[in-house]
């Protein structure tokens, strides 16, 4: 049996239906042909990430900080390799 992959659009649709509470999770699971546990997982993930929806400016700052961190780690790695090479050359 192969695993099914769901689009983020589909997951959002299911979660929003679950949040409306017009139908039980069991009914929604039957309607969308997925397990109730999957709906619970998607709902929990959705609610955990809900605070990031309105933080567009912070998101780009975070990615800039991550890029800077990656760049600094790269420089550290290069310096370590160079340092090790020079130590071996002196032996």
Q: Phi and psi of 33, rounded to 5°? A: 60, 50
CA 18 to chain centre: 21
Give the pTM.
0.59
- CA angle in degrees (0–180, nearest 5) for 60-76-72: 15
Query: Which residue in this structure is represented by tokens 């042909």?
Result: 33
Asked if residue 75 has pLDDT above 80, the reply is yes
User: pLDDT digits over 4-19, tens only?
Assistant: 899 999 999 999 999 9
Q: How confident is the model at residue 72 (pLDDT cuts 50, 70, 90)?
A: very high
Residue 36 and residue 27: Cα distance in Å, rounded? 9
Residue 18 and residue 43: Cα distance in Å, rounded? 8
């Amino acid at each position: 049996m192969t695993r099914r992959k769901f689009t983020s659009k589909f997951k959002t649709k299911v979660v929003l239906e679950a949040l409306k509470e017009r139908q039980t999770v069991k009914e929604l699971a039957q309607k969308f042909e997925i397990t109730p546990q999957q709906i619970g997982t998607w709902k929990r993930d959705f609610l955990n990430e809900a605070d990031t929806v309105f933080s567009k400016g912070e998101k780009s700052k975070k990615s800039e900080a991550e890029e800077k961190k990656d760049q600094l780690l790269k420089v550290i790695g290069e310096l370590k390799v160079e340092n090790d090479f020079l130590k071996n050359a002196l032996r």
